[in-house]
Structure 1
Amino acid sequence: MAPTVLGALYLLLYPLLRNIVISLQHFRMGELVNGGAAFVGLDNYREILDDPVFWDVVRRTFGFTIANVTLIMVLATLVSLLLMRLGRGARLLVMGALVLTWATPVIAATTIFQWMFQSELGVVNWLLVRAGFTSFQSYSWFASGTATFWIIVVLVVWQSVPFAAITLYAAQTTIPHELYEAARIDGAGPWRLFTTITLPMTRTIFGLITCLEIIWVFKAFAQIWAISQGGPGGATTILQVYAFRIATLQHRYDLAGAASTITVVILMLVLVVYFRHMYRQEALR
C-alpha cells in the first residue's frame, strides 16, 4: 500500500500545503519566474477579507450551492422513487439514460447547453417562439446575469442528478419489502411510506450524497468558466472563479492562494456543521 499512500499524499496533500505556503508569501509573476518569494504572513488574507467584492462572491457562492444542492437532492429523490416503481425494462432504459448523462464530459455538456440557449439558432428560443412567446425571438440569454446564473444551475443539476439518483435507488433496494406491505395494510399512503420508512432507512446514504453534492457544487468551475468566465457583470463569479481570475488576470498568485485556502476552510466548516447536525439526529433516534 505504500506506493498508493505516497502517491495520494503527493497528489492531494502537497498541492494543498504548497497553496498555503504561497498564500503566506509575496508571490507574483517575478517570483514565479525567478523564485525568492518573501514571507508576508497574513497580509494576503487581510487584503482578501477587506475586499467587499470577496464577500459578494461568498454570498453568491452560498446561494449557488444552496440552489443546486436543493434541486439535485429533490430531483434525485423523485427519480430514485420512480426507479423503484418501474418495471425491469423501463428501469433499465431510465438507468441507461442516467448513466449516459453522468458519463458525458463536462465541457461537452457545457457546449451543448451553449448551443441550446444560443440566441439565433438555439432550440430553446425556437421552442419558446413556436409556443407563442414571441419576445424570445433572438433573445440573448447570456447577456443577462440572472439568466446565465440559472442556466448554469440547470446544467450543474442535470449533470449531478444521475449519480445521486442511482445511489439513492441502490440504497432503497436494501429496504425489506415487508415493511412497505405492513405499512400499506395499516393504511399508510405514499407520503407516509416515504417519511416513515424510506427516508429513515436511507438517512445515512442521503446525508452522504448531500455532502458529496455540496463539495461538487461548491468547487464547480469548468461549467462557469466555459460559459461566462464569471460574467456578465460578475453574476456567475463564485469563489473558484474568483481565485482563478485573480491568478490569471492579475498574476496575484499569493492572493489567489489565500482565496483558495479560505474556500477550503469555508467548505470544511459547512461540512462540519452538517455532520454535527446529522450526528445529533442519529443520537436522537
Structure 2
Amino acid sequence: MTVDSQGAVSTASTDAPGSAAGTSKTPPPPAGPKNVPKPPRGRRSLPGGVLPYLLIAPAVLSMAVLLLYPLIRNVVLSFQQVGRRELITRKPEWTGVENYTELLGDSQFWTVVVRSVVFTAANVVLIMALGTLIGLLLNRLGKKMRLVLSLSLILAWAMPIVASVTVFRWLFDEQFGVVNWLLRTLGLSGYEQHNWFETGFSTLVIVMILLVWGSIPFVALNMYAALTTVGSELYEAAKMDGANGWRTFWSVVFPNLKPFFLITTFLEIIWIFKAFAQVYAMNLGGPDRGSETLPVFAYIEGQGQFHYGVAAAISVLTIVMLIAAMSFYFRLILKQEEEQ
C-alpha cells in the first residue's frame, strides 16, 4: 500500500501475474487458420439463380419430349383431315376449324359430353364419400384391424386394370355370373340369364362400381394419413362441448383437412374424366356406342372410323374441359390462402 503526495491511498494486488511489472497480458489469438483459403483460380461457382434451373432441366426436357411434343402434334392434327387416303398418301389436308365446327354441331358429341360429366360427378361423389368414411374407420380401429384393412385396400388398389375388368365381367356374366346367382338365391325373379350389358346405362353402372372400388383405397389411405395430423386435444375439446360424431367431423376435421379434400377431389375428377381402359375393356363402348365417354369416343372415331383429325379435335376439347376444371380448383386454392 502506498500513499501519494495528496494523501490518497492506492493498493495493488500482488496475486495477479504481471502486476509487479505494471503490465497486463493480452488475450491469445483465436485458434484456427490465420488465412482463409481462397478457391483456386480458374474455377468459379455457379450463380445461385442458375443452379435450380440446371437441376430441373432434365425433368423439363423429358416432359417436353414425352408430353409437350405429342400435344403440339395433336393440336396440329386437329386442324387437318386425316383418313385412310391421307394415311396412304401421307399428305394430310388442312381444313382449319372444320373438325371443331363439325363436332360442336353434332348432337352425338354433346350427348357424350353430358354423359361424361354426369358419369364423372357420380363417381367422384361416391368415391369421396365412401373413401372418407373408410379413412375415418381406419383412424378408429386398433393396430391389427387397421393393418388388415389397409392391406386389403392396397391389394384392391394394386390390381391391374384388365384383371379387375375381367373379374367384374365374370361377376355380371349372363350365364355364370355371381350376381345373377346371388339374386336368384335371394328369391328375386327375372334374373335367370339376365344380361347386365344390354344397355349403355347398365354398362356404365358396372363400370362405375369398378372405378369406385378401385379408387376408394387412394382416398381412404390419404384420409387416414391426414387425420393423423389433427391433434387429439381438438377431439377432446369437441367432446367436452357435447358435439356428436357428425358435428365433430364438420367443425373439427373438415376445416383442418380442407386442402386435402380439395386436392383429392380434383385428382379424382381428372382420374375419372379421362378413364379409358375400364370403359372400353368392359363393353367396347357399347352397346350401340351407348356407354362411350369422351376418351372412348375419341378412340373409336380415330381407330374405328379412321377420322383421326376429328379424334384429335375431341381430345383437344377434352383437355380444354380439364383446364377449365383446373382453373376453378386453383381459384379455390387462392381464395383459401387469402382467407388464411
Q: Same fold (TM over 0.5)?
A: yes
Q: CA deviation at 1:281?
A: 4.9
SS of structure 2 residue aligned to 1:243: helix
* Larger displacement relative to structure 2 (172-181 or 230-239): 230-239
1:144 aligns with 2:174: no
Looking at structure 2, the residues matched to 246 and 146 of structure 1 have their Cα atoms a distance apart, in angstroms, of: 21
What runs of 5+ residues in structure 2 fail to find an aligned partner?
1-54
2:331 equivalent among 263, 276, 284: 276
SS of structure 2 residue aligned to 1:133: coil
* Larger displacement relative to structure 2 (164-173 or 82-91): 164-173
Looking at structure 2, the residues matched to 146 and 57 of structure 1 have their Cα atoms a distance apart, in angstroms, of: 12
Aligned to 1:192: 247
Q: Which has the larger radius of gyration?
A: 2
What runs of 5+ residues in structure 1 fail to find an aligned partner?
none
Q: CA deviation at 1:233?
A: 3.0
Aligned to 2:223: 168
Q: CA deviation at 1:144?
A: 2.5
User: Aligned pairs, how many?
Assistant: 285
Equivalent positions of 1:31-180 (< 5 A) are 31-180=86-235
CA displacement, residues 204-228 of structure 1 (integer Å, 9 cap, x when unaligned): 0111010110000000111111111
Looking at structure 2, the residues matched to 275 and 72 of structure 1 have their Cα atoms a distance apart, in angstroms, of: 21
Q: CA deviation at 1:268?
A: 1.1
1:231 equivalent among 254, 261, 286: 286
SS of structure 2 residue aligned to 1:234: coil
Looking at structure 2, the residues matched to 85 and 275 of structure 1 have their Cα atoms a distance apart, in angstroms, of: 33
Looking at structure 1, the residues matched to 294 and 98 of structure 2 have their Cα atoms a distance apart, in angstroms, of: 19
CA displacement, residues 193-244 of structure 1 (integer Å, 9 cap, x when unaligned): 1001111111101110101100000001111111111112332111111111
* Larger displacement relative to structure 2 (108-117 or 144-153): 144-153
Q: Which has the higher contact order (CA 8 A, sep 6+)?
A: 1
Q: CA deviation at 1:278?
A: 4.6
Looking at structure 2, the residues matched to 202 and 175 of structure 1 have their Cα atoms a distance apart, in angstroms, of: 8
CA displacement, residues 27-61 of structure 1 (integer Å, 9 cap, x when unaligned): 22333343232322111111111111000000000
CA displacement, residues 53-94 of structure 1 (integer Å, 9 cap, x when unaligned): 000000000010001000000000000000010000000100
Looking at structure 2, the residues matched to 69 and 271 of structure 1 have their Cα atoms a distance apart, in angstroms, of: 15
Q: Read off the aligned partner of 1:205 and give its amino acid letter.
A: F
Equivalent positions of 1:10-29 (< 5 A) are 10-29=65-84
Q: Read off the aligned partner of 1:135 and give its amino acid letter.
A: G
Aligned to 1:6: 61
**What TM-score do the two structures reach when normalised by structure 1?**
0.96
SS of structure 1 residue aligned to 2:264: helix
CA displacement, residues 149-179 of structure 1 (integer Å, 9 cap, x when unaligned): 1111100111111011111111111111111
SS of structure 2 residue aligned to 1:141: coil
Q: Percent identity?
A: 45
Q: Read off the aligned partner of 1:39 and give its amino acid letter.
A: W
Looking at structure 2, the residues matched to 192 and 284 of structure 1 have their Cα atoms a distance apart, in angstroms, of: 23
1:207 equivalent among 248, 251, 262: 262
Looking at structure 1, the residues matched to 194 and 160 of structure 2 have their Cα atoms a distance apart, in angstroms, of: 27
More helix, by proportion: 1
* Larger displacement relative to structure 2 (233-242 or 160-169): 233-242
Looking at structure 2, the residues matched to 283 and 161 of structure 1 have their Cα atoms a distance apart, in angstroms, of: 31
Looking at structure 2, the residues matched to 197 and 32 of structure 1 have their Cα atoms a distance apart, in angstroms, of: 60
SS of structure 2 residue aligned to 1:262: helix
Q: Read off the aligned partner of 1:93 and give its amino acid letter.
A: V
1:264 aligns with 2:319: yes
Looking at structure 2, the residues matched to 180 and 254 of structure 1 have their Cα atoms a distance apart, in angstroms, of: 57
Runs of 4+ more than 3 Å apart: 277-285
Q: Read off the aligned partner of 1:267 and give its amino acid letter.
A: L
Aligned to 2:35: none
Q: CA deviation at 1:248?
A: 1.1
Looking at structure 1, the residues matched to 93 and 193 of structure 2 have their Cα atoms a distance apart, in angstroms, of: 53
Q: CA deviation at 1:272?
A: 1.6
Looking at structure 1, the residues matched to 299 and 214 of structure 2 have their Cα atoms a distance apart, in angstroms, of: 23
